[in-house]
Amino acid sequence: MSISNEVLLQAVKDFGTPLYIYDGDMVVQRYKELYDFIPWPKLKIHYAMKSNYNFELLKLLNDANASLDTVSPAEIMLALKAGFSKDRIIYTANNMTEEEVDCVQSLGVLMNLGSLSRLEKYGKKYPRSKICLRFNPDVVDGEHASLMTGGDLTKFGILLQDVDKVKEIIKKYDLTVVGIHEHTGSGLQKTESVFQSMKNVLKIATKDNFPDLEFVDFGGGFKVPYKPDEERVDYAAMGAEIVKIFSDFCKEYGKELAMYFEPGKYIVAESGYMLVEVNTIKDNNGRKIVGCNSGFPQLIRPMFYDAYHHIVNLSNQNGIEGEFDICGNICETGDRFAEARVINEIREGDILSIENAGAYCYSMGSVYNLRAMPAEAVYHNGEMKLVRRRLTNEQLIEQILGEVEV
């Protein structure tokens, strides 16, 4: 399932470039299929909205009854506007401020606390509350060093060995721990890491330590293929093993608990395309350098994580293949979407489609060099709809002046 090249090209004609397009049907399908892959009666999928906070996609996921993983008060506020009820949202920010904690508390959203320091401060201010605790699973995995959130070198979660200190604070402030959480990393390379993280965290999630548990949340991180020849993980097999591990745990715990996951990438990555137009071609002593009308602030993963994004030349699909560096329009040498990429011949005026641009692309965007973020369109039920316009230069400047006045 994907959007045809003809439909993408028509959207370019209708809305111009640079343009993000998301396949809304695929987003809902990816969300729903996780329930088939992980057949646990009390499974709840909390979409990690940091990966893509497009309002139209949020509304589609809300219609599908999804839950959410959020990381800032503004994310919660946007989620509430999209229709999500507060009981379907978890708050897993790190290094929170007092102001932020108060805001989330007043919104009635369950807090997931990941440090002893924050737990102490929270307990003092909000004794007798229900909370979730984030532990560091002590497993290192992820698509890139910056995407590994387990192990000694990360800032995330409470160390498993500190469970007794946690218990002291909980007792002191009469807190009720309803959930235990871990997140190992994004784009987990080995399914074994998922199982190992589960086992590590479940070892401390005992009835003795935490008698009031309602759920255990095993985070996100499910990888998707970015390269055309990359194999898709067998999620049905992985889900069967997950259910076995959790079922054994629940028997020991003496209660059928809910199991949560928080995928972002899995749900939205493959649904997205960023469409750009080529405006300049240079031949630097045989090196073909392509310049287009977007740059790394609008899709940062290749520059930030060395991430591969497949690129298709939509307007010359039968052109002879050649090797091209595909660059942006930003004043930085590293402003590149692809290096030495073999692709159908690229000419000035061609439209390139940067694929798998649904997760951590628009949402990580900025207006560096003062170029407005692209417009966004959603394809759903056979219809393409522009859901967010690109700011004009005048609007961008108005926004900046507005910020100065504040």
Ligand X SMILES: Cc1ncc(COP(=O)(O)O)c(C=O)c1O
Q: Which residues are catalytic?
A: 331
| 197 is a contact residue toward ligand X (CB under 6 A) | no
Of 264 and 328, which CB lies nearer to ligand X in the complex structure? 264
Q: How far is the CB of 185 from ligand X (least distance, A)?
A: 7
For the beta carbon of residue 265, count every other beta carbon within 10 angstroms: 26
Q: How far is the CB of 272 from ligand X (least distance, A)?
A: 13
Which position among 150, 220, 239, 291 is part of the footprint of ligand X (CB under 6 A)? 220
| 219 is a contact residue toward ligand X (CB under 6 A) | yes
Contact window for ligand X (CB under 6 A) among 23-31, 256-264, 304-312, 323-331: 256-264
Does residue 223 contact residue 181 with C-beta atoms inside 8 Å? no
The tokens describing 278, both together, are 């080529």
| 262 is a contact residue toward ligand X (CB under 6 A) | yes
Q: How far is the CB of 334 from ligand X (least distance, A)?
A: 23
Of 73 and 187, which CB lies nearer to ligand X in the complex structure? 187
Nearest 5°: phi and psi at 273? -135, 135
Of 143 and 350, which CB lies nearer to ligand X in the complex structure? 143
Of 202 and 312, which CB lies nearer to ligand X in the complex structure? 202
| 356 is a contact residue toward ligand X (CB under 6 A) | no
Which position among 186, 329, 353, 356 is part of the footprint of ligand X (CB under 6 A)? 186
The amino acid present at 358, given as its one-letter code, is G
Measured at CB, which residue is nearest to ligand X? 220
Q: How far is the CB of 220 from ligand X (least distance, A)?
A: 3
Q: Characterize the bridge pairing of strands 158-159 and 130-136.
A: parallel
Contact window for ligand X (CB under 6 A) among 3-11, 216-224, 252-260, 272-280: 216-224
Which position among 218, 222, 296, 324 is part of the footprint of ligand X (CB under 6 A)? 222
| 114 is a contact residue toward ligand X (CB under 6 A) | no
Q: Write the CA distances from 207 to 43, 151, 214, 249, 340, integer angstroms.
A: 20, 25, 11, 10, 56
Q: How far is the CB of 52 from ligand X (least distance, A)?
A: 9
Contact window for ligand X (CB under 6 A) among 16-24, 232-240, 262-270, 397-405: 262-270
Coil, helix or strand at residue 126: coil
Q: Report the b/e string of 127-149 with b at 16+ CB within 10 A.
A: eebebbbbbbbbbbbbbeeebbb
Does residue 12 contact residue 19 with C-beta atoms inside 8 Å? yes
Mark residues 266-305: x for contact with ligand X by CB under 6 A, - for none.
Answer: x---------------------------------------
Nearest 5°: phi and psi at 195? -65, -45
Of 359 and 377, which CB lies nearer to ligand X in the complex structure? 359
Q: Characterize the bridge pairing of strands 215-217 and 176-181.
A: parallel
The amino acid present at 220, given as its one-letter code, is G
| 263 is a contact residue toward ligand X (CB under 6 A) | yes
Question: Measured between alpha carbons, how far is 190 from 355 in angstroms, rounded to an integer?
Answer: 24
| 183 is a contact residue toward ligand X (CB under 6 A) | yes
The amino acid present at 354, given as its one-letter code, is I
Residues near ligand X (CB under 6 A), total: 18
For the beta carbon of residue 315, count every other beta carbon within 10 angstroms: 19
Question: Measured between alpha carbons, how far is 289 from 299 in angstroms, rounded to an integer?
Answer: 18
- Spatial neighbors of 256 by CB under 8 A, at least 6 apart, are 41, 42, 250
Sites of contact with ligand X (CB under 6 A) = 48, 51, 69, 92, 149, 183, 186-187, 219-222, 262-266, 359
